[in-house]
Amino acid sequence: PAERTRTTGATTPRLRVAPPPPIRVPRAPFVGLILVLVVGGVLGILAINTKINENAFRLEKLQQQQAKLDVDEQQLNKEIAEQKDPGNLTANARRLGLVESEDPAYIRLPDGKTIGVPHPAEGAPSVTGPQGNGG
């Protein structure tokens, strides 16, 4: 058989591996996916940034409110301290019509025993008290 091919003058072609045909991937879906991811990322960052700024404004408003409440608390504590002053307590008691007792009696708390003899205080009520002005 090898001799026949030589005599006919036709040579058999050599076999070789052909490269695979090029694969064409459609680009439109890939580009669309990338665009969706980029736009989604930008919108997500924008939403997060907006929420952070909104919370920053809310935090600033709450801090201002807290500062105002701190000032109010300081003023109220000052007023309480002034009212606790012994001179103010006496003046407020007289304004309410209370009089001082010379010899008070005490109750011992653990056993409830009374020390001293309780008796009502005597004295004219204050003119500014409720009994002094007809009340």
Task: Establish how many alpha carbons lie within 13 A of residue 27's alpha carbon, considering only the half-sphere containing its beta carbon.
Answer: 0
Per-residue confidence at 125, pLDDT binned at 50, 70, 90?
Answer: low
- 134: pLDDT strictly greater than 50: no
d(CA 22, CA 43): 38
d(CA 86, CA 104): 18
In the chain the first and final C-alpha atoms are separated, in Å, by 146
Question: Quick one: tokens of 65?
Answer: 């409110």
Share of the chain above pLDDT 70, in %: 84
CA distances from 107 to 111, 117, 119, 121 (A): 9, 10, 13, 17
Predicted local distance difference test score (pLDDT) of residue 135: 43
Share of the chain above pLDDT 90, in %: 40
Alpha helices in the chain (DSSP H): 2-8, 27-84, 86-95
- The residues pairing with 106 across neighbouring beta strands, listed in sequence order, are 115
Q: Give kind and range of the element (H or E) at residue 106.
A: strand 106-107
